[in-house]
Amino acid sequence: MPSVVNFNMIYLSDRPLNTVKITTRLLFFFLFLLFTGCSRSGDLNSSIEKMKDENPSIRWQASLALAEIGEPAVEPLISAIKDNDPGVRESAVQALGQIKDPGAVKPLMAALKDSNPYVQEEAALALQEITGGSYAKFLPGKDTAR
């Protein structure tokens, strides 16, 4: 038996492997998965349901997922600004800043008065993202030299 291997062509059984054909099939497979199993509306509905979970960590993770969805997630994130958990409120405010929807300005202005200073600061940063203004001017009682 020869110990030399020919690497010029790869064979599966007795037929040569056609890489173009396999690449095309893989491409169609991933496109199929994309359009059938990974719909944004499904992700949106799932994340909205998770925002109702008793566990604040689940709600926090859901708000991060909503940030990736974008504009359709603005209303659930605005509702999350009133969550009992400050971590959830903070992540909701961050998500709204990432989405940059002008409809979130009024709720974010209200979040500047949150009892948690981290929520206040994230609200100011989110407002800066949306309006383009300096975030320090949004913080109550803070100097603008920041």
pTM above 0.85, yes or no: no
Q: What is the pLDDT along the chain (146 residues), one digit of tens a residue?
A: 555 555 555 454 455 555 555 565 666 555 555 554 444 556 889 899 999 999 999 999 999 999 989 999 999 999 999 999 999 999 999 999 999 999 999 999 999 999 999 999 999 999 999 998 877 777 777 654 44
Q: Give the SS3 label for residue 132.
A: coil
pLDDT at 145: 46
Q: Give the SS3 label for residue 3.
A: coil
CATH of 40-138, one of 1.25.10.10, 3.40.50.450, 3.40.1440.60, 2.60.120.10: 1.25.10.10
**Per residue, what are the HEC states of 55-122?**
CHHHHHHHHHHHHHHCHHHHHHHHHHCCCCCHHHHHHHHHHHHHHCCHHHHHHHHHHCCCCCHHHHHH
Distances (CA, A) of 107 to 6, 99, 115, 121: 67, 14, 15, 14
For residue 35, the one-letter residue type is F
pLDDT at 37: 44
Residue with tokens 């405010």: 93
Structure tokens at 6: 């020919």
